[in-house]
Amino acid sequence: MRLFAAVVPPAEALDELERAIAPHVGEVPGLRWPDRATWHITLGFFGEVPEAVLPELETRLARAVHRHHALDLTFTGFGAFSSVRRGRVFWAAVSGDPMHRLADSVRAGARRAGAGQVDDKRFHPHLTLARSRAETDLRPLVESLSGFSGSPWRAEAVRLVRSHTGPQVRYESLGEWALAPSRPD
């Protein structure tokens, strides 16, 4: 099973993103815009995980997630990997409460559970909106969206997701765990 852990933003936050990018969808040749149903913020990608590892992975993820508080976040602007001049991935930036410790805990739990290919890249909180097979100059797209700033929202749970690849990528939620309630101000 191809698995990852993610935060799925609330519908209202995704609505704002969708309205912001709608005029630009289809404008950049070669840029593929996945269905909104696949939008998420990846905390850890685990690759192919044997089914026998799943119970331990779920236990470890539950423990890791419960150690962290809900996060107050906002979508603030857009960017691209590897750069806006040579982009292959167009994304919305996520700011607010730091997500790094949560991502580190989720990845460590997956490693301890025996998930084989836990991604160890530096965590960069973002939501992927489009992809290109070839490097593409995305500066005009990013610049045209430079005034965007979304409304604050709260991340309250982490999902374990199975990715079904093929001509139409499909995601299946295998489990979800609540983050601890936010700390009082």
Active-site residue set: 40, 126
**Closest of 3, 4, 6, 56 to residue 157, by C-alpha:** 6
First to last CA, the chain: 41
Chain centroid, CA 77 distance in Å: 15
Does a cis peptide bond (omega within 30 degrees of 0) precede residue 82? Answer: yes
Residue environment code for 117-135, b if the CB has 16+ CB neighbours within 10 A, otherwise e: ebeeeebebbbbbbbbeee
Report the alpha-carbon distance of residue 29 to residue 126 in Å, rounded: 22
Report the alpha-carbon distance of residue 89 to residue 84 in Å, rounded: 9
DSSP assignment, residue 10? -
Q: Is 29 left (phi over 0), alpha (psi -120 to 50) or beta?
A: beta
